[in-house]
Each structure stands twice: as structure tokens, then as C-alpha cells.
Structure 1
Amino acid sequence: MSVLLLGGTAEARELAAALVAAGIAVTTSLAGDVAEPRLPDGEVRVGGFGGAEGLARYLREHDISAVVDATHPFAARISANAAQACATTGVPLLRLERPGWSQRPDASGWHWVDCLDDARTAAEALGNRVFLAVGRQELGTFAGWADRYVLARVVDAPDIEVPGTWEVLRARGPFRLADELDLLASRAIDVLVTKDSGGATDAKLDAAAQLGVRVVAVRRPQPPAGVPVVETVDQALAWLARG
């Protein structure tokens, strides 16, 4: 078996390590959006395939037995390309996607929206000191916020010129609750804008709940129709074993 793992998440790294330990050939593909990514076990390639057609060509040329899409829950374009390429080639495809935060007890009180533009509109009505936790590539949607304090936390430096009222904090999670409480309190944050990414980066949400900070959450996109979805690495391993 030869597995192509579309990675970039903690779950992808965990799955790659398990496959390598089991003696299964795995190549993890990273988009290259992060300057210094955490590299998984096994073979690694960085960069796109050239859309669905390029990915289909790669699957054929490398005799891939199965594809596991373990990309970020909001990497919709990559997931769509994978679904199209696998349908074209007949290579089995699985989506490994960690659970979101919608089942949290406090999530019913959040302001849920469908896109970043709606998140900007909602946040503008809720406060003037905003913690943006949406990722570096999404900051442009909020670049017009020159009239308020904005804390933008990113791994790599923004590729846009941010307004003078912003503070850019470069850091990589996961983060401790005590540190998140201090961060939100010290900046007097009244609104948190985030995407429903799920995973272990939820300490900011616990801090927001404790401090009464309003939360604007962007719903995650649905996976491509017809693609089986699992939530854990063990479930992904079981699927591969059946194949």
C-alpha cells in the first residue's frame, strides 16, 4: 500500500507516524503556507499539485493506493480537488476531520456566521477591541479596521500592511488557559473572532467564556459529497486496513 496524506494538521502528523511505524509507505503533502512547518514522519512534499488534474496525474504516476485528506477543516479547495482527482482515478479517498467546537456548552451563545465577511459585520456591532484568531491569510478581510484596537495572532508575519491600531502577535499553539486569560484581560478584549477549526487550540474559548468576551465563530464548510469522513486517527487506520 502507498498512501498519499494531505496534511498540515496535528492529526495528519499523528497518522503519518502510525503508518510509518506500521511499515506502510506514506507521503505527506504540505501546502507550503507556513514558513517552518512541523514536519511529519515519512516522505514529505511541499507545494500544490496544479489543481485536480495535477493531483490525478500524481496519483497515477506514483501508483497511490489511497488518499487521506487530513487538511485543515477550512481548506475547502484542497478537499474539493482531492474529491475530483480520486473520482477521476478511482483511488479511494477518506476525509479525516477533527470535531468542531459547536458542541461546547457555551457555543449556543456565540454569534455563528457563514463567512469572514459576515464575521466582520457581526464583530463590528459587538465591540471595539477585537482578538482576531482566523489565520494570517484571512487578515485582509479585516484590513479596514483602522478605527479600533485589533490583536491578530499568527504563526508567520502577515503579508499585508496592517493598520496602526493593530497589534500583531506571532505565536504557535497550543496555548495554556492561564496565558489566554492574561492575554485577553491585558488587552481588554471584548470580541473574539475565530473559525470553527476544532482541536486543541480552544483555550482561548475557555478564556473568553470566563471573561465574558463575545465570540463570533465562522461555521466550517461541508466536506465534498460522497466522501467518507472520520474524526480520529484510529478510525482512519481502520479504514486503511479494510482497503
Structure 2
Amino acid sequence: MHVLILGGTTEARQLAGLLHGTPGLEVTSSLAGRVAGPRLPPGEVRVGGFGGAEGLTVWLREHAVDVLIDATHPFAGTISFNAASAAATAHVPLLALRRPGWAPVEGDSWQEADSLEEAARLLPGLGRRVFLTTGRMGLATFAHLDDLWFLVRSVDAPEPPYPARMEVLLDRGPFTLDAERDLLRHHHIDVLVTKDSGGTATAPKLTAAREAGVPVIVVRRPQTPEGVPVATAPESAAHWVTQRMGRPAVGRP
């Protein structure tokens, strides 16, 4: 039985680790290749895109994939719809592995935004020194905000266009609460911008912001395909996969 995991997330690596070495199971993890020096999961790994839904459909058929797992980042967006389309066309069972989103608790000062563009519009009214943790790909959205200062944290160095008044912190989670407290205090941060990535690796910044009374702009997750079963933990996804072992492959003659 061949499992293809569309990965790049902590949960995807954990799932590959749970499945790797299972007798009768071949596991391939696919990474988009947007991060230099990614943490590789166990098992076979491929890097790079498929060429849209049609390319993924061809890959599923050519490599005799029996089960497809969409364990991409909650903001990967397009790939989830491509996965749903390809799985339906190739008649391959699909499961989405999605970490639960964050929810505000007492003491939080959150404003939700539907996009980075909306977050940029909200920023000037909330603070002047911004901790921006939305990744390096969308910095052009904030490049026109010349009156604000940005601390940008990302895994890889960003490329222009980006804000003129900016300091870059190259780092990768998980982050500790003490370190996030020190970071907010040292840089005099008065507003935080983040995507609702969920999980625990980067959640301490939300606690630190709450303790410091720093407002947070939270960018909502994009829509995902309807009708796809969802697991919220790698263990649940692994159980779903192993339950399917021994069943006839739907997409095979």
C-alpha cells in the first residue's frame, strides 16, 4: 500500500514517522521546496510541485498511490483544492490532516482579518512597532507602511519588496514563552500580526502578547475543500491509514 503525504508541517513529519516501517506500507512525503534546509521526515521524500491538479493526478496514477494525505500548512491554500480534485479524478481516498486553529481566551485583544491586505489596513490604528510573524512570502503587502517599524521573523531571509523600516529575525520554532516575552520587551513591540496557523510551536507569542497587553491581528485561515474527511492529530491520521490496509485499492483495475 502506497501512501503519499503532502507535507512540510510538523504534523506531516510526525505522521510519516508513525507510518514509516509499517510492514506492507510504502510512505512518500512531498515537500513544496519553499524552505531552504527543511526538516526531512523519515521515508521517501520528493521536493517540488506537481504542476497543478492535473500533474498530481498523473503522479498518483504513475506511482500507484493508494491513499493521499493532505497535511500541508493551513495557509498553503491552492494545494488542498488540487489534492481534492486529483484524488477525485484518480479515485484515491483523501484525508486532510489539519491542526486545530487558535481561539482567544480571557485577556486577549484580538482583531481578525480575512487577508494580509486587511491586516495591513488595520495596523496603523493599533501600533507603531510591529512583530510580524506571517512568513516571508507576503511582506510586499506591508511595504507601503513607511511610518511603522517591523520585526519580521521567518525561517529564510525575505526578498524585496518589504517594509523599509524592518529588522529580520531568522528563526524556526518551537519557541518558548520566556523567549517570546523577552522579544516583545526588548523590541518594544506594541502590536503583533500572525496567521491562525494553530499548533503549539508558535503559540507562546500569543500568551506573551496577552500578558503584555499587546493587541493581536489574527489572519483567518483560507477556505478548504468541502467533503474531505479531517483528522486533527497525526495519531488519528495514522489510524485511518492503517484501517485501510488490506482493502482493495479504489483506483486500481
What TM-score results when the alignment is normalised by the length of structure 2?
Answer: 0.93
Alignment of 1:206 with 2:207, yes or no, is: yes
**Same amino acid, percent of matched pairs:** 55
CA RMSD of aligned residues (A): 1.3
Aligned position for 1:157: 157
Residues 98, 231 of structure 1: 8 Å contact kept: yes
Question: Residue 67 of structure 2 contacts residue 94 of structure 2 at CA under 8 Å; is this kept in 1?
Answer: yes
Structure 1: which amino acid aligns with 2:224? Answer: P
Q: 1:105: which partner in 2?
A: 105
Q: For structure 2, which runs of at least 5 residues remain unmatched after alignment?
A: 245-253
Q: Which residue of 1 aligns with 2:67?
A: 66
Q: Given the superposition, is the C-alpha separation of residues 202 and 107 from structure 1 closer, same or farther in structure 2, using an over 3 Å criterion?
A: farther
Alignment gaps of 5+ in structure 1: none
Q: Is the partner of 1:44 in helix, strand or coil?
A: strand
1:174 maps to which residue? Answer: 174
The amino acid that maps onto 2:60 is L
How far has the Cα of 1:139 moved from its partner? 1.1
**8 A Cα contact 1:101 1:107, kept in partner:** no
Secondary structure in structure 2 of the residue aligned to 1:68: strand
CA distance in 2 between partners of 1:106 and 1:67 (Å): 39
Give the match for residue 34 of structure 2. Answer: 33
Query: How far apart are 1:164 and its partner, in Å?
Result: 3.7
Aligned length: 242
Instruction: Give the aligned partner of residue 247 of structure 2.
Output: none
Cα offset, 1:147, TM superposition: 1.6
Distance in structure 1 (CA, Å) of the matches to 2:107 and 2:46: 37
Matched, 1:76 2:77: yes
In the TM superposition, 1:220-231 aligns within 5 A as: 220-231=221-232
**Whole-Å Cα distance in 2 between the matches of residues 139 and 69 of structure 1?**
26
1:98: Cα distance to partner?
A: 0.5
Aligned to 1:188: 188
The residue type paired with residue 178 of structure 1 is D
SS at match of 1:194: strand
After superposition, the C-alpha distances for 1:45-74 in whole angstroms (9 at most, x for unaligned) are: 000000000000000000000000000001
Q: 1:120 to 1:38 in 2, by over 3 A?
A: same
Structure 1 residue ranges (4+ consecutive) displaced by more than 4 angstroms after TM superposition = none
1:153-197 per-residue CA deviation (whole Å, 9 max, x = no partner) reads 011010214344111111111111111101011111111000000
The aligned residue for residue 95 of structure 2 is 94
User: Partner amino acid for 2:139?
Assistant: L
Question: What is the identity, as a one-letter code, of the residue corresponding to 1:208?
Answer: A
Is contact 2:108-2:210 (8 Å) kept? Answer: no
